Amino acid sequence: MIMAEQHDVLVIGSGAAGLSAALALAETKRVLVLAKGDLRSGSTAWAQGGIAAVLDAGDTFENHIRDTMVAGAGLNRRETVEFVIERAPAAIDRLCQLGVPFNQDGADLHLTREGGHSHRRIVHVDDATGWAVQAALLKAAEENPNITLLPGRACIDLITGRNGEKFSGEGRVWGAYALDEASGKVEKHLAKATVLASGGAGRVYLFSTAPRGATGDGIAMAWRAGCRVSNMEMMQFHPTCLYNLEVKNFLITEAVRGEGGHLLHPETGHRYMADYDPQRMELAPRDIVARANDDQIKRYGLDYVHLDISHQPPEFVKQHFPTIHEKLLGLGIDMTTQPIPVVPAQHYTCGGVLVGLDARTDLPGLWAAGECTESGLHGANRLASNSLLECFVFGEAAAKDILDNWDDLSDPPAIKDWDESRVTDSDEEVVIKQNWTEIRRFMWNYVGIVRTTKRLERAAHRIKLLKDEVGDYYGHFRVTTDLIELRNLLQAAELIVQSALSRHESRGLHYTLDYPETDLIARDTVLVP
């Protein structure tokens, strides 16, 4: 058992939310940041389109608030929406100070456009915004003597014990147990305050734009520890993921449609968004465009639809989308002259651990920020490029609340070491692979873009069976990252299906043939452990 050095604050996750919190905390506190795998392994590094902020004189906070709530189908909490959107310009300023090289338009920042936005308001670094943001945040964190970055640590569970009692399921959080992925040893990381910033659960679906590690670990850990989880049925599908037999999760940014790209039937060339949303066409909110693409594919038995921007001048296309252009050229597609084959794929987890404006969870000692949370910003469907923004604002909010209340936080008590006395090395790793694939496949087929109660019940049944099998496996064998992820993936799947079964209406991303109408009053789905 390794007992790592104790820090003041433990941050789980090195993406936009975790590093924003860490940098703000490190002004006075010693912060330990843990990441599963590489420090750049989260979604942040892969963000393409950009960050939404009202920066244009012709735009207003009210416009951005309205667009966010229209996309969110009224399920958003207005005070959260105002809280985040009013802090966006300051968040962009801080990123500029950290050296993020946003594209310029003369003396101003260049603003691109994405679906659901009534104005141009997306600041970006070409079509690879996340990479630049992640690099700037990491550089600042690496240079800060108060921050220790520890990659290759897969947190297993939050420590909620009191005086040696492990996993009480109630009470306070004192840190986390984490697997050192290189040595296979389990470490105990104690802290007065813990910030969960572990990203989404996209990999619960067979097709997802999210990176490999998006297995809902933080949501599952918080749920097991006793936190409420909200709106997990609101899984966002992006309309335009590249269709390619080898490259399975490459996103084609919504900004391609923002800069004039058309969606076309691949055989007839019909611009079919006219049949679904004739006013907003390709720039309708994401749920509408994703459902239209799914409908075309299913109705006509297609493998994909076409996204075409070849009517724009080649230089314009190359200048706006250099990363995508180059990636596609490598696959034999020249987007300046040819359409791009695309399909919908899971993209973002709108639900998560319930937090307030101070980023507090239900458990004292535990704050949460970013994609693992449900803060009230996104409602039933996230507006494009509002997610990174939420990470910056809530990462800072968590840090502020911790610092404001520091004197009331007590030191961790004695906590038991991780107990490995009753487990052995697995001789049946195939169980993990089999179950992982099975979950992702039935979630795609039964809990996808268009749902029915019967399909959801089928999924619930499969989950029940798998829970026994995975629980048994977890109880007998030493933990590995794959096993930790499988256990969490299954937990996330259960939360999604339970939430979907309990919503008897269609709203935003949750569309069910059995309840096609939208209720007059918007209600959150809140699951209580």
Nearer to ligand FAD, 297 or 345 (CB): 345
Element (H, E) at 52: strand 51-52
Give the whole-angstrom CA distance, residue 63 versus residue 195.
32
Indicate which single residue of 8, 126, 254, 282 sits in contact with ligand SIN (rule: CB under 6 A).
Answer: 254
Indicate which single residue of 25, 75, 123, 210 sits in contact with ligand FAD (rule: CB under 6 A).
Answer: 210
Inter-residue contact 361 to 158 (CB < 8 Å): no
Element (H, E) at 263: strand 262-264
255 binds, among ligand SIN, ligand FAD, none (CB under 5 to 8 A by kind): ligand SIN
| The token pair that represents 385 in the structure block | 């490029």
Catalytic residue (one of 228, 286, 462, 487): 286
Residue with tokens 């290189």: 182
Size of the site for ligand FAD (CB under 6 A): 42
Start-to-end Cα distance in the chain? 30
Using the contact rule CB under 6 A, the part of the chain among 30-38, 141-149, 247-255, 520-528 near ligand SIN is: 247-255
Nearer to ligand FAD, 386 or 435 (CB): 386
Backbone angles phi, psi at 219, to 5 degrees: -65, -45
Using the contact rule CB under 6 A, the part of the chain among 15-23, 59-67, 294-302, 321-329 near ligand FAD is: 15-23
Using the contact rule CB under 6 A, the part of the chain among 97-105, 149-157, 329-337, 453-461 near ligand FAD is: 149-157
CA proximity to 89, closest of 389, 518, 357: 389
Using the contact rule CB under 6 A, the part of the chain among 134-142, 162-170, 199-207, 249-257 near ligand SIN is: 249-257
* 253 is an interface residue for ligand SIN by CB under 6 A: yes
Nearer to ligand SIN, 233 or 254 (CB): 254
Indicate which single residue of 155, 342, 380, 490 sits in contact with ligand FAD (rule: CB under 6 A).
Answer: 155
Binding mask 13-52 for ligand SIN (x = CB under 6 A): -----------------------------------xx---
Residue with tokens 């639809």: 305
Indicate which single residue of 80, 194, 208, 387 sits in contact with ligand SIN (rule: CB under 6 A).
Answer: 387
Helix (H, G, I), strand (E, B) or coil at 9: strand
* 153 is an interface residue for ligand FAD by CB under 6 A: yes
* 208 is an interface residue for ligand SIN by CB under 6 A: no
* 385 is an interface residue for ligand SIN by CB under 6 A: yes
Nearer to ligand FAD, 226 or 370 (CB): 370
* DSSP codes, 143-175: H-TTEEEE-SEEEEEE---STT----SSS---E
| The token pair that represents 9 in the structure block | 């604050």
Q: Which of residues 315-374 bind ligand FAD (CB under 6 A)?
A: 348, 370-371
- The pairing of strands 31-34 and 9-12 is parallel
Using the contact rule CB under 6 A, the part of the chain among 32-40, 67-75, 78-86, 312-320 near ligand FAD is: 32-40
* 306 is an interface residue for ligand FAD by CB under 6 A: no
Shortest Cβ 133–ligand FAD spacing (Å): 8
Inter-residue contact 372 to 196 (CB < 8 Å): yes
Give the whole-angstrom CA distance, residue 179 versus residue 129.
31
Q: Say whether 286 is catalytic.
A: yes
Element (H, E) at 277: none
Strands lying side by side in the sheet with 186-190: 2-3, 186-190, 175-180, 153-158
Element (H, E) at 528: none
Inter-residue contact 176 to 189 (CB < 8 Å): yes
Nearer to ligand FAD, 13 or 261 (CB): 13
* 353 is an interface residue for ligand SIN by CB under 6 A: no
- The pairing of strands 366-368 and 193-196 is parallel
Query: Where are any strands of DSSP class E within 71-129?
Result: 104-105, 108-109, 111-112, 122-123
* 17 is an interface residue for ligand FAD by CB under 6 A: yes
Nearer to ligand SIN, 152 or 258 (CB): 258
* 242 is an interface residue for ligand SIN by CB under 6 A: no
* 285 is an interface residue for ligand FAD by CB under 6 A: no
Catalytic center residues: 286
* Residues in touch with ligand SIN (CB under 6 A): 48-49, 253-255, 384-385, 387
